A and B are shown apart, each in its own frame.
Chain A
């Protein structure tokens, strides 16, 4: 069965430091992968998506993610985080017009 795993429930990063959020998926075919962000008390906003082609995809707010088929991973990165990046981040894989979601990683920014 398809699944998405985000191994880190919480991550704490100092402002200005780099960030990597992990996402592993289990899917039989070529996956369509997504990262969404949810700020406190808000809805979900798409950060970036991977369908095919270049395995390094750029998103909004300075985020990027790299698709690695050999590792079944789609990790999210940002070179320098800002306090406004504090939020919950969800990885998802498209499965027959439905999204399979990870449990989320809460990003905490230290001043």
Chain B
């Protein structure tokens, strides 16, 4: 049981490039979340999903897209990367009968 896994751990992008951050959970959780954490700040919700095929915007969705084709996977897509997207990105999941969110180890992204 690996929990929530994220790849890559680190990435440097040039302005205007695109990439996909991968997130997978093996706990059969319905709910999945993407957060970003800027230096010295708390977490801000980018997108979330309540089940396969259903996604919705969080607090800071601009510049990102998500999809949820399976229960396990919830990739985050960055199109046209900008320096403002330099951050640490965390994926999380939770089950329907639980209130606790389980977090992945994070992806540190730098846009230059």
Contact = CB atoms under 8 A, between A and B. Distances in A.
Interface of A: 32, 34, 42-46, 49, 51, 90, 94, 97-99, 101-104
Given A43-B90, A98-B48, A32 B42 contact: no
Contacts of A32: 99
Interface of B: 31, 33, 40-45, 48, 50, 58, 90, 94, 99-101, 103-106
A5 to B, nearest CB: 11
Contacts of B105: 42-43
Which secondary structure characterizes the binding site on chain A?
strand
Contact of B42 (A46, A51, A90, A94): A90
Given A51-B99, A94-B99, A97-B50, A44 B90 contact: yes
Q: Top 4 closest A-B pairs, CB basis?
A: A101-B42, A103-B42, A44-B103, A43-B105
B31 A43 contact: no
A111 B50 CA distance: 46
A9 to B, nearest CB: 8
Candidate in A32, A51, A101 with the most chain B CB atoms within 10 angstroms:
A101
B99 A43 contact: no
Contacts of A99: 33, 43, 45, 101
Nearest to B94: A97
